[in-house]
Chain A
Amino acid sequence: MTRLTVRHLSKCSDVREEGPAPSRPREIVGILQSLLLFPFCIFGYIGAGTGSLILQMVIASSLGALVVVKIYWRRIVAFFKRDKESADVEE
């Protein structure tokens, strides 16, 4: 299966593996950082899930493009249908 981590995630360069226990000052900075950036303030009270958010970043633009294609395809079909219907009426 395709891994989602490679080139799609250039915007998520801060992704890093859990390392050994941080030193005290780093821990404090980390806590302050998470207080400032904690997902609750940005991503609501339900806990959106990092994986869900990242997957959206990877797939959403393709799905958005798909919708545009769909809309134009429907318009083309509707155009030819209308054309055919008016031809039927003339007959």
Chain B
Amino acid sequence: MNAELVPIPHTWVLALSAVLFAIGTLGVMLRRNAIAIFLSLEVMLNSANLAFAAFAYRFAAAHVAAAAALDGQIFIFFVIAVAAAEATVGLALFIALYRLKETIDVDRFNILRW
């Protein structure tokens, strides 16, 4: 075996996923531009995908079960599909909002309060 080919431990991948998730969350919280919030949301979804992939990789390496290894990978496709649907609806919403207020600054949309 070649020393360069030592596999990356799955915990590293999980750590990356957590960092990406935190970055996405902060983006959702702090940005005011709706498109930026949307991008941050996509980062959060994909950090989840990364976690799925990490676990699939982990279970495959541990030879637990072939099905368990596949589950995580299949779930990623579900998430991608949901994210695509969400992008469609979200962007349509933003267009509608822009037509109403000529801006997509979310702080300007607070008419539904108390």
A in complex with B: no
Q: Which residues of B approach A to under 8 Å, CB–CB?
A: none
Residues of A within 8 A of B (CB): none
